[in-house]
C-alpha cells in the first residue's frame, strides 16, 4: 500500500516489509518515507487549510457522511486487513470496524455543533451595551500519530474530529501495522479536498521527529507509549498537544460484588486483543474475603479461551504484535515467578503467541505491577477493604481508567472520588469505552481528551469578538 500526499498515492523504491504477526509472512511492503515526503505532506496540508476553511459545516458534514457510507461498504475487507496487519482475532476486528464506522458518524453529526458562546460583557464595569461572543475556529494543520493496537479506530478518532473542525491532517500510522490506516486514508481522500488528509509511512525516529518539530504543524494528537509521548512533549515547542499514553488499569473486586460478573469481566478485560489494549485490565485487586471464590471462576474461565490463528472465528486470543513483544511479556512473567508470584495458568510462549496468564500473590513493588505489561497477563494483588484497594490502585505512575465491582454505593463513591484516573467504571472493567465519551488519562497516562466532541474542542481555538456601541 502507498502513502497519500496531496491527493496522490505515492510509492518509493525503499520499502518497509509488513509481516503478519501470526505466521511472520510478508503481507505487504510500504514506502519508507523520508524528510522530503514529510515536507511535501506538510506543504499539502498547509495549502488545504484555506480550502477546508471555506467549506460550510454542512459540506464538511456531508463529506463525513459519505466516508461513513464508503467505510460501511468496505467493512468486511477492513476487518480482514486489521487481523492480517496486527493479529487481532477476526471477531474483535469486526467490532473495531463497527466502532470506527460509528466514530465517523459521530464526527459527521458533531461537525454541525461547533458552537461559540455569548459573553455577558455587562457583568463587568465598562461592558454596558457591549456585545461579546466567542467563535470556535480551526487550528490549521493537525499531526495525527497512531499506535498499532487499534489501527483503524484510533486513526479515525484523530482524523475525523480534525476534519469536522476544518483542520487538515498529516497522519503517521504505526509501522508495526500501517495497512488499515493507509486504506482508510485512500477511502477518505475521495470525499475531501486535495491535501486535506495526507498519510506518510516511515520510521518514527526520522519522519516522526520531522513532523513533531515542523512549524507548519499547529497541533499534535499522539496515541502510543509513555516513552514516545514524553519525547514528543519535549520537542513539540508551543504546539497544542493531546497525548493518549500507556495505562496500568486496575480492576477492583470487593466483598459485596457480583463475583460471577466480575470474573467474566476480568477475562474479557485482561485478554482482549491479547492484552494489548491501553485500557486493558493490567492489575486485579481482590478483597481477601472473596479472593479464592473469584480466582477459581477467573482461572476456569481463562482456561476456556481459544488461543491461536486470529483469522479463525473461534479464536479469542491471537498473537502479540511481534516476537520481541512476546519475549518481553515472557521475561516479565518469569521474573515475577522467580520473585515469589504464583503461576495459576498460562506462562507459556510459542512464537508470538503467549497463553493467557494469571499470577497470584503478586507484590505491589514488582515490575509486573509498577509498569504497563502489554500482553495477556493478570497479576492479582490481595487487599482488605476499599481503603487499601484505592491505595493500591493509585500506587503506579499511570492513571488511564479503572474498574470497580461493588454493590455498595459508598464504596463505589469512594473509588470515584479517590482513584487517580481519567475514568472510573463501576461494575464493568476499565476496558469500557463508548466512542462519544470523554477519554484520556492523567499522571503519566497523558494529557487532553478524545471522544469526538472533546477532541473537536481540543482541535479548535476560541476567538472573542467584541462589538462596542457607536
Q: What's the min distance (Å) between Cβ of 222 and ligand NAD?
A: 7
* DSSP structure string for 357-390: EEEES--TTSHHHHS---SSEEEEEEESHHHHHH
Alpha-carbon distance 405 to 426, whole Å? 6
- The grid coordinates listed for 432 are 469500557
Q: Coil, strand or helix: which one is 442?
A: coil
Cβ proximity to ligand NAD, 143 vs 286, nearer residue: 143
Enter the DSSP assignment of 307: B
Q: 129 Cβ partners below 8 Å, 6+ apart?
A: 122, 469
Q: Which of these segments, 7-15, 81-89, 92-100, 166-174, binds ligand NAD (CB under 6 A)?
A: 166-174
Q: How far is CA 127 from the centre of its chain?
A: 44
Q: Which one among 19, 49, 219, 231 touches ligand NAD, defined by CB under 6 A?
A: 231
The site for ligand NAD, by CB under 6 A, has a size of 32
Clarify whether 244 is annotated catalytic: yes
Q: What's the min distance (Å) between Cβ of 384 and ligand NAD?
A: 30
* Interaction between residue 374 and ligand NAD (CB under 6 A): yes
* Interaction between residue 208 and ligand NAD (CB under 6 A): yes
Q: What's the min distance (Å) between Cβ of 204 and ligand NAD?
A: 2
Q: What's the min distance (Å) between Cβ of 422 and ligand NAD?
A: 9
Q: Which of these segments, 32-40, 75-83, 123-131, 224-232, binds ligand NAD (CB under 6 A)?
A: 224-232
Cβ proximity to ligand NAD, 166 vs 219, nearer residue: 219
Q: Name the burial class of residue 175, with classes exposed (0-12), middle (13-18) and buried (19+) by CB atoms within 10 angstroms of its CB.
A: middle
Alpha-carbon distance 463 to 187, whole Å? 33
Alpha-carbon distance 147 to 171, whole Å? 11
Cβ proximity to ligand NAD, 22 vs 294, nearer residue: 22
* Interaction between residue 305 and ligand NAD (CB under 6 A): no
Task: Write out the binding residues for ligand NAD, residues 260-299 only, by CB under 6 A.
Answer: 278
Among the options 210, 244, 330, 372, which is catalytic? 244
* Interaction between residue 192 and ligand NAD (CB under 6 A): no
* Interaction between residue 204 and ligand NAD (CB under 6 A): yes
* Interaction between residue 308 and ligand NAD (CB under 6 A): no
Nearest to 391 by CA among 309, 294, 285: 285
Q: Which one among 152, 217, 245, 389 touches ligand NAD, defined by CB under 6 A?
A: 245
* Interaction between residue 423 and ligand NAD (CB under 6 A): no
Q: What's the min distance (Å) between Cβ of 248 and ligand NAD?
A: 9
CA atoms within 13 A on the CB side of 296: 5
* Interaction between residue 146 and ligand NAD (CB under 6 A): yes
CA 37 vs CA 14, 87, 158, 165: distances in Å: 12, 29, 21, 25
* Interaction between residue 87 and ligand NAD (CB under 6 A): no
Cβ proximity to ligand NAD, 63 vs 100, nearer residue: 100
* Interaction between residue 209 and ligand NAD (CB under 6 A): yes
Bridge-based pairing state of the strands 118-119 and 131-138: antiparallel
Q: What's the min distance (Å) between Cβ of 34 and ligand NAD?
A: 15
* Interaction between residue 405 and ligand NAD (CB under 6 A): no
Q: Which one among 1, 145, 182, 265 touches ligand NAD, defined by CB under 6 A?
A: 145
Q: Which one among 48, 82, 228, 254 touches ligand NAD, defined by CB under 6 A?
A: 228
CA 167 vs CA 36, 50, 114, 361: distances in Å: 22, 9, 13, 50
* Interaction between residue 437 and ligand NAD (CB under 6 A): no
* Interaction between residue 175 and ligand NAD (CB under 6 A): yes
* Per-residue buried b or exposed e for 365-396, using 16+ beta carbons within 10 Å of the residue's own CB: ebebbebbbbbbbbbbbbbeebeebbebbbbb
Contact 290, 259 (CB under 8 A): yes
Helix, strand, coil abundance in the chain, percent, nearest 5: 40, 20, 35
| Positions in the binding site for ligand NAD (CB under 6 A) | 145-149, 154, 172-176, 204-205, 208-209, 212, 223-225, 228, 231-232, 244-247, 278, 372, 374, 400, 441, 446
Q: Which residues carry out catalysis? A: 244
Amino acid at each position: 500500500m502507498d502513502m497519500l500526499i496531496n491527493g496522490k498515492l505515492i510509492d518509493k523504491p525503499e520499502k518497509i516489509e509488513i509481516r503478519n504477526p501470526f505466521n511472520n509472512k510478508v503481507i505487504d511492503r510500504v514506502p519508507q518515507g523520508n524528510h522530503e515526503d514529510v515536507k511535501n505532506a506538510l506543504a499539502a496540508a498547509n495549502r488545504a487549510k484555506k480550502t477546508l476553511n471555506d467549506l460550510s459545516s454542512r459540506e464538511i458534514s456531508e463529506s463525513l457522511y459519505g466516508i461513513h457510507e464508503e467505510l460501511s461498504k468496505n467493512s468486511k475487507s477492513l476487518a480482514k486487513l486489521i487481523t492480517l496487519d496486527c493479529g487481532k482475532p477476526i471477531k474483535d476486528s469486526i467490532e473495531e470496524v463497527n466502532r470506527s464506522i460509528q466514530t465517523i458518524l459521530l464526527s459527521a453529526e458533531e461537525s454541525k455543533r461547533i458552537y461559540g458562546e455569548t459573553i455577558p460583557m455587562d457583568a463587568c464595569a465598562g461592558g454596558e451595551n457591549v456585545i461579546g461572543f466567542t467563535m470556535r475556529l480551526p487550528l490549521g494543520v493537525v499531526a495525527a500519530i497512531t499506535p498499532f493496537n487499534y489501527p483503524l479506530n484510533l486513526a479515525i478518532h484523530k482524523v475525523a474530529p480534525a476534519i469536522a473542525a476544518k483542520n487538515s491532517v498529516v497522519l503517521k500510522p504505526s509501522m508495526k501495522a500501517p495497512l488499515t490506516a493507509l486504506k482508510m486514508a485512500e477511502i477518505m481522500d475521495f470525499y475531501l479536498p486535495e491535501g486535506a488528509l495526507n498519510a506518510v509511512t516511515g520510521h518514527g525516529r526520522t519522519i516522526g521527529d520531522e513532523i513533531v518539530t515542523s512549524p507548519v504543524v499547529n497541533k499534535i494528537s499522539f496515541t502510543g507509549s509513555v516513552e514516545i509521548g514524553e519525547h514528543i512533549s519535549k520537542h513539540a515547542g508551543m504546539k497544542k498537544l493531546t497525548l493518549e499514553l500507556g495505562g496500568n488499569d486496575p480492576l477492583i473486586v470487593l466483598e459485596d460484588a457480583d463475583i460471577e460478573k466480575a470474573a467474566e469481566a476480568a477475562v474479557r478485560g485482561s485478554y482482549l486483543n491479547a492484552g494489548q489494549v491501553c485500557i486493558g485490565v493490567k492489575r486485579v485487586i481482590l478483597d481477601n474475603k472473596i479472593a479464592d471464590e473469584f480466582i477459581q471462576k477467573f482461572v476456569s474461565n481463562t482456561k476456556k479461551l481459544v488461543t491461536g490463528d486470529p483469522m479463525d472465528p473461534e479464536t479469542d486470543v491471537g498473537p502479540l504484535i511481534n516476537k520481541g513483544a512476546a519475549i518481553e511479556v515472557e521475561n516479565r512473567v518469569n521474573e515475577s515467578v522467580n520473585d515469589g508470584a504464583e503461576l495459576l495458568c498460562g506462562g507459556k510462549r510459542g512464537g508470538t503467541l503467549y497463553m493467557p496468564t494469571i499470577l497470584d500473590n503478586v507484590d505491589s513493588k514488582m515490575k509486573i505491577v509498577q509498569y504497563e505489561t502489554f500482553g495477556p497477563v493478570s497479576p492479582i494483588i490481595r487487599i482488605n477493604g476499599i481503603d487499601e484497594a484505592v491505595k493500591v490502585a493509585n500506587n503506579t505512575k499511570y492513571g488511564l481508567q479503572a474498574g470497580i465491582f461493588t454493590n455498595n454505593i459508598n464504596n463505589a463513591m469512594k473509588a470515584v472520588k479517590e482513584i487517580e484516573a481519567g475514568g472510573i467504571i463501576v461494575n464493568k472493567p476499565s476496558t469500557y469505552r463508548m466512542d462519544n465519551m470523554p477519554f484520556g488519562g492523567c499522571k503519566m497516562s497523558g494529557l487532553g481528551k478524545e471522544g469526538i466532541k472533546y477532541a473537536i474542542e481540543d482541535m479548535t481555538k476560541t476567538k472573542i469578538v467584541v462589538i462596542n456601541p457607536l
